[in-house]
Amino acid sequence: MSRSLLFASMLTFSAIAAAQTPAPAAPAGGDATKGREKTQMCEGCHGIEGWRTAFPEVYRVPRLGGQHEAYLVSALKQYKNGERSHPSMRAIAGSLSDADIANLAAYYAAGKVKTATQ
């Protein structure tokens, strides 16, 4: 087989394999209104400007409002399954259903953050 024929065969095979590989699933859009109802567990740390935790180490708590929805879903799922190790976040994320995660992500991604008590 000539080099050019071999190369063309490899490209064809690669194109077929790529076409048959499913695209990663986009996060299901959550309900921001329902997400707002779940913010009580978030606002104690994430709702305070410049807040730092002291356990398990000194850590600057990030703001959630305006983050990308897919990032928030991914981060919460990583805490839930143990890929991320912050103990407080693992406990909180572990109590959330997939729908709760999607709803919270939709709410915080909207950027107009108000807590459930505001």
**What token pair was written down for 104?**
């919270």
Tell which wins on pLDDT, 117 or 49.
49
Identify the CA nearest to 105 among candidates 57, 72, 80: 72
Q: Is the confidence at residue 117, as pLDDT, over 70?
A: no
Backbone angles phi, psi at 59, to 5 degrees: -145, 130
Say which residue the tokens 């394999």 belong to: 17
Q: What 3-state DSSP class applies to 78?
A: helix
Amino acid present at 117 = T
Give the pLDDT confidence of 8-65 residue by residue, as tens digits.
Answer: 444 444 445 444 444 334 445 899 999 999 999 898 888 777 777 776 667 788 888 8
pLDDT of the residue at 55: 63
Give the pLDDT confidence of 68-90 residue by residue, as tens digits.
Answer: 999 999 999 999 999 998 888 99
**What token pair was written down for 18?**
């790529």
**What token pair was written down for 33?**
């209104």
Which domains are present in the chain? 30-109 (1.10.760.10)
DSSP string, 47-75: TSTT-EE-SSS-EEPPP-TT--HHHHHHH
Q: Record the pTM.
A: 0.67
